[in-house]
Structure 1
Amino acid sequence: MRKFAVGSVAVFGSLLVALAGSQAKAATPDLAQAQAVINAHSQIPDFVPPGPPFDARKCMAGKSLLSIPTSSSIPFVDGIENSMGSVAKQVGFKFQQWKNQGQPTQWVQGMAFGIDNKFTGIDLMGGIIPNALAPQVAAANKAGVKVFATHYSDTTQPADPAVAVTLRIPFHEVGEIIADWITLKTGGHANVLIVGSSDILPSKPYADMLGATLDKVCGPGCKHRYVTVTVPTWSTKIQTTVQGALIADPTINYIVPLYDSMSQFVIPALTLTGHRKNVKIATFNGTPFIIDMVRRGDVEMDIGESLGWIARSILDGEMRNMCGLPSIGETLYVPLYIFDKDNAKDAGIPADFDRGYGDKHVAGYAKLWGMQ
């Protein structure tokens, strides 16, 4: 949930706030700059080993990993978990997902399960802020269980010193790419509604960069504002909130759900307000059913991050730590790739979690781990 991170114990009600804009806007849209950024993320990504090779099967023999996602009900997050399970099986170590519906009490129960069952490591994946489980993290450390925090924060945000490994995603770069896309598509005349979740840690740097890039690149002909809906209320609050925004300002021409699974609740609002054809959706994560929406024309673009690539990058960092190998940094190695109407079919029909990005990462990680 640079897939996509989701969830924390902080809870904010739905509210509409203005994004702080840059004091110095571009006099005219910088379409050349925007095009250069889009071109850079429209190429099938290559694989570059993130660190030195190691024998994963040998060093992970007898070890185990419990992964606690922010919420198993979010398709993107659950897709990463399923992919991690498949890859762990190939490597040959025990992996278990702690299924939950995003409730902090369920995360606490998962931590207790991991400690009591003496897992080698516990992964807090997709948005759980370690500090929200500080007593449980401390208990795991005392019991000799390593705790990892992955895909939960932006690379501009500090790592949590209580966990063994933090693996972050540059969400702010996603904001820049989406803003450049909208600048190109509108020719510098965008009115953007950004739909985020303030209880997701990287939402602020992500949305701030999106707004700042619109100010800088799109120029004075562009407007943007931000509405926040907490993760547990996506299914009940996104549609009504978007409807209200469209009724209040019918000149909105782009909606950016920061996390693409939100799009399923945005589309009914467009239909009911009569804006289905004139308001476009640009988003991020690459969840398969949203890529299907891109192929059908319901969503204009989705910046994808291969769930199989995310899973392998997470496991690479965690296995190195559990095997006592040197750290290779605190950033997930996951390229960002744009899906639109021209290439969405490459992800499969229906779309698959790991298609459309090429397969260089599959062979790349297998070779890196000594498995071929």
Structure 2
Amino acid sequence: MIRTVAGAALMAAAVISGMSMPARADAAADGLAAAKEKLAKYAAKPVFVPPGEPFDAKACAAGKKMLSIPNSSANPFLKGIIDRMKKAGAEVGLEVTEWENQGQPSQWVQGVEFAIRDKYDIVDLISGIDPATIEPQVKAAKEAGVKVMTSHFYDPSDTQNPFVSSSLTIGFGEVGTVLANWAAVNTEGKANILVIKSDEVPPTKPLMEGLRSELAANCPNCKIVQEVNVGVTEWATKIQPSVQSAVQANPDIDVVIPIYDSMSQFVVPALRLTGKTGTVKVATFNGTPFVLDYIQQGLVDMDLGESLDWIAYATVDGHLRDLCGLGSPAALNVPFYIFDKANAAEAGTPAGYDQGYGDAYLSGFRTLWKLQ
């Protein structure tokens, strides 16, 4: 009897085992197919979609000025956007000025106070400054008649600070899903990932949630080996040694994801010094030109880009609509586009801020602004 029961148990275990292995294999194959299908959307050339009805942007912007405060002026991605906003603003007569800073909240406070004193019409908190961090100043600006707006900061799932006039959101969670699916597809569903992140920057949370959830859904054999959190002001001193230590301690790491591509300038030398260039894949997000150059040089594998020039025009458009009572769009509506070795040259050599995405947005916004 004991033998019979034991034998039955062994047979049952064998049946279960035999069923579970193909089931797991099928799940992995299905997940990989889903990941490939989702990535296809981002391989297509971006299309311009009007964010609202046409309006007389010159009349709206006449005599108006905007102070743009990045989370750090050392970030070339943000610097590039603001430089392009100055150009886009000039087309309609909006004066755009950057409040240069080194990423210190006290400097952001000073920027808002300056805007109040100097009677700016708009304060643009761009990509990384949480209004809650400087809420007393944001409230004071509102009371003084200065509209504080955010751009490229909130995910659509976030709740806007009550003293902010409007927000041009971006799908950071969506970005995380693209990075996850790319890692899965480019390792045949077996990625061992090192993530470099900055938890102090609020968009990191939805991005990481998207990354983790998509890996769980589409890549059961992928894993995040390590997450390295580095504050924005410490990127230059801590990212390189952290990456070196991680890839040496975990030789199975085959993908590094610095979630914001300006981090790549410190990841690339770390991989070079450890002899991992070309064997460890690097995937990132933003589309900063020097990182697109890295792709052409074989130092980075993928950058999920968004045209900095397109972002600039969309930001000016959205903020002017709010300023003039037309209702701001809920999002930037700037499409993402995957750059890799197959198409990185489309961005120019060296890469530019507005190359590779097409130029439909230029005539699109100028038509919306009644300039043509």
TM-score, normalised relative to structure 1: 0.91
- Over residues 80-116 of structure 1, what are the superposed CA-to-partner deviations in whole Å (9 max), with x where a residue is unaligned? 0000000001111222111111111211111111101
Q: 2:318 aligns to what?
A: 317
Contact 1:53 1:369 in 2 (8 A): yes
Q: CA deviation at 1:194?
A: 0.8
In structure 2, relative to structure 1, the CA distance for the partners of 1:221 and 1:120 (3 Å cut) is closer
Q: CA deviation at 1:224?
A: 4.2
Contact 1:292 1:349 in 2 (8 A): yes
Q: Distance in 2 between matches of 1:188 and 1:106?
A: 45
1:361 maps to amino acid: Y
- Over residues 338-358 of structure 1, what are the superposed CA-to-partner deviations in whole Å (9 max), with x where a residue is unaligned? 000111111111000111000
Count of residues paired in the alignment: 348
Contact 2:109 2:137 in 1 (8 A): yes
Q: 1:7 aligns to what?
A: none
Q: CA deviation at 1:229?
A: 0.5
Report 1 or 2 for greater relative contact order, CA contacts < 8 Å, sequence distance ≥ 6.
1
Q: Does 1:247 align with 2:248?
A: yes
Q: Distance in 2 between matches of 1:221 and 1:97?
A: 42
Contact 1:285 1:305 in 2 (8 A): yes
Contact 2:278 2:298 in 1 (8 A): no
- Over residues 128-183 of structure 1, what are the superposed CA-to-partner deviations in whole Å (9 max), with x where a residue is unaligned? 11111111111111111111111112222211121101111111111111111111
Kindly report which structure 2 residues correspond to 1:197-216, keeping only aligned pairs within 5 A, or say none: 197-216=198-217
Kindly report which structure 2 residues correspond to 1:219-234, keeping only aligned pairs within 5 A, or say none: 219-234=220-235
Q: CA deviation at 1:27?
A: 3.2
Q: Does 1:369 align with 2:372?
A: no
Q: 2:339 aligns to what?
A: 339
User: Any gaps of 5 or more consecutive residues in structure 1?
Assistant: 1-23
Q: 2:11 aligns to what?
A: none
Contact 1:26 1:220 in 2 (8 A): no
1:248 maps to amino acid: A
Q: Distance in 1 between matches of 2:25 and 2:88?
A: 47
Q: Distance in 2 between matches of 1:112 and 1:204?
A: 29
Q: Distance in 1 between matches of 2:139 and 2:77?
A: 29
Give the stretch that moved more between structures: 147-156 or 348-357.
147-156
More helix by share: 2
Contact 2:215 2:222 in 1 (8 A): no
Q: Does 1:63 align with 2:64?
A: yes
Q: Distance in 1 between matches of 2:97 and 2:341?
A: 36
In structure 2, relative to structure 1, the CA distance for the partners of 1:155 and 1:340 (3 Å cut) is same
In structure 2, relative to structure 1, the CA distance for the partners of 1:50 and 1:26 (3 Å cut) is farther
Q: 1:3 aligns to what?
A: none
1:110 maps to amino acid: G
Q: CA deviation at 1:54?
A: 0.4
2:346 maps to amino acid: D
- Over residues 274-332 of structure 1, what are the superposed CA-to-partner deviations in whole Å (9 max), with x where a residue is unaligned? 21121010000000000000111100000000001111111111101111212332x21
Q: Distance in 2 between matches of 1:202 and 1:368?
A: 29
Q: Distance in 2 between matches of 1:183 and 1:66?
A: 41
Q: Does 1:175 align with 2:176?
A: yes
Q: 1:15 aligns to what?
A: none
- Residue 299 of structure 2 aligns to a residue whose secondary structure is coil
Q: Distance in 1 between matches of 2:127 and 2:345?
A: 27
- Residue 45 of structure 1 aligns to a residue whose secondary structure is coil
Q: Distance in 2 between matches of 1:205 and 1:101?
A: 25
Contact 1:26 1:216 in 2 (8 A): no
Q: 2:50 aligns to what?
A: 49
Kindly report which structure 2 residues correspond to 1:249-264, keeping only aligned pairs within 5 A, or say none: 249-264=250-265
Contact 1:27 1:220 in 2 (8 A): no
Q: Distance in 2 between matches of 1:39 and 1:152?
A: 26
Kindly report which structure 2 residues correspond to 1:115-194, keeping only aligned pairs within 5 A, or say none: 115-194=116-195
Q: Distance in 2 between matches of 1:144 and 1:206?
A: 33
Computing the radius of gyration from Cα coordinates, the structure with the larger value is: 2
Give the stretch that moved more between structures: 144-153 or 348-357.
144-153
Q: Distance in 1 between matches of 2:182 and 2:60?
A: 44
TM-score, normalised relative to structure 2: 0.91
Contact 1:34 1:180 in 2 (8 A): yes
Give the stretch that moved more between structures: 229-238 or 130-139.
130-139
Contact 2:307 2:334 in 1 (8 A): yes
Q: CA RMSD in A?
A: 1.5
Q: CA deviation at 1:236?
A: 0.3
Q: CA deviation at 1:26?
A: 7.8
Contact 1:79 1:353 in 2 (8 A): yes
Q: 2:301 aligns to what?
A: 300
Q: Distance in 1 between matches of 2:224 and 2:130?
A: 32
